[in-house]
Structure 1
Amino acid sequence: MDHGTVHKTDLTAVTHSNTLIDKLINELKNEDLISVKKEFVGRNTYYISLTEKGKAIAQQLKKAQEIAESKMEDQEGLGNPPRIEVTEEAADRVKELRLLYHVNVYDDHVSIEEIPRNGGRPRIFDVYIKRNGLGDFRLWCEQDDSFDCVHVEVAWTYPEVQHMILHYKGKTKVCLVCGYENPENAKFCMECGARLE
Structure 2
Amino acid sequence: MKVAVICGSQRKSSQTAKVGQYAVNHLTDLGHDTYFLDLAVHPLTNFDDSFWSEPSGTLQTQWQPISDELKSADALIVITPDWHGMVPSCLKNFFLYCGVKETANKPGLIIALSASTGGYLPVAELRISSSKNNRICWIPDHLIIRNVKACFNTPCPSEDKDDTYIQARFSHSLGLLLQYAVGLSGVRESAVADYKTYPFGM
Fold shared by both chains (TM-score > 0.5): no
Greater relative CO, 1 or 2 (CA 8 Å, sep 6+): 2
TM-score (norm 2): 0.18
Question: Per residue, is there more helix in 1 or in 2?
Answer: 2
User: Comparing both structures, which one devotes a greater share of its residues to strand?
Assistant: 1
* TM-score (norm. length: structure 1): 0.19
